[in-house]
Amino acid sequence: MYKGRTPLSLTSVSPQSHNIELDLNGYYDWKTTVTVTPGVTTSYVNAQMRAIPSQTTGFIDVTSSPAEANIYLDGAYQGQTSSSGPFTISNVPVGAHTVRLTLIGYQDYTTSANVVAGTTSHVGAALQPPYHPPSSTGTVSVSSSPTGANVYIDNAYKGVTPVDIEVSPGTRTVKVTLPGYLDWSTDVQVTAGGTSQVSASLTPATTSAQSGVLPFAALGALAAFGLLPAVRRRD
């Protein structure tokens, strides 16, 4: 039963044995037994309390998924996490500390751990795969029959088929040219991060020379057979 703070005199105490306990922050509890004898006016209790030794360090337990990640405490390498249990960093000064974990193929993990004297703080890291920001461009994949044709996108030369071309999103004009064939073109919609397929089937060109030879040859044949009307000569 609480009676007050030292120094203290207790009166009207029944004659028998009594347990006395003293406690004070930063000190071990102090206990004793006092026997009150009838007719004795005063029993003296003098408590010599012993201070609790101050602790200036603590511990940090570190785990990660997956395991075998490198551990850094305030930039200093400590070891690797294990799948069999936590990795314990000992003798960590009281206060806030930065814990960083690294593992090839995963993003670095960084957190703050607050260490309290004589206690253990816990850090559990779920490592994440690398972050790839969304692409700001798209791809136009151009093929042709026959192959080896020149490719232009928005009138800019881009290479020879088959070819993959990275362009900004939007509507793009694709033109395919090859000597001896008619030019081929189309519009294609390009989306960021996507691939638009373009397949050009080229048509052989007919030369003007070829188109002019056939009529004259036909006329010559008709004349040979006397099928053309005779031209009357004027005197």
pLDDT in the model for residue 231: 44
pTM above 0.85, yes or no: no
CA distances from 55 to 25, 90, 96, 190 (A): 14, 13, 16, 65
| Cβ atoms of 92 and 65 closer than 8 Å | no
Q: Which parts of the chain sit beneath pLDDT 50?
A: 209-214, 216-217, 219, 221-222, 224, 227-228, 230-235
CA distances from 101 to 58, 83, 96, 124 (A): 20, 15, 17, 10
Bond into 146 cis (ω within 30): yes
Would you kindly state where each structural domain of the chain is located, as residue ranges? 13-53, 57-126, 138-201
Which residues are paired to 19 by β-bridges? 33
Which residues are paired to 122 by β-bridges? 61
pLDDT in the model for residue 17: 83
DSSP H/E element including 76: strand 76-80
Which residues, at least 6 apart from 28, have a Cβ–Cβ distance to it below 8 Å?
49, 50, 51, 52
Q: How far is CA 234 from the centre of its chain?
A: 98
Per-position b or e across 119-138, b if 16+ CB within 10 A of its CB: eebebebebeeeeeeeeeeb
Mean pLDDT of the chain: 85
pLDDT in the model for residue 202: 95
pLDDT in the model for residue 54: 66
10 Å CB burial of residue 61 (0-12, 13-18, 19+) is: middle
Q: What is the CATH number of domain 138-201?
A: 2.60.40.1120
pLDDT in the model for residue 222: 46
pLDDT in the model for residue 215: 52
**138-201 and 57-126 share a CATH fold:** yes
Q: What is the pLDDT of residues 154-180, one digit of tens each?
A: 999 999 999 999 999 999 999 999 999
Q: What is the pLDDT of residues 58-78, one digit of tens each?
A: 999 999 999 999 999 999 999
Q: What is the CATH number of domain 57-126?
A: 2.60.40.1120
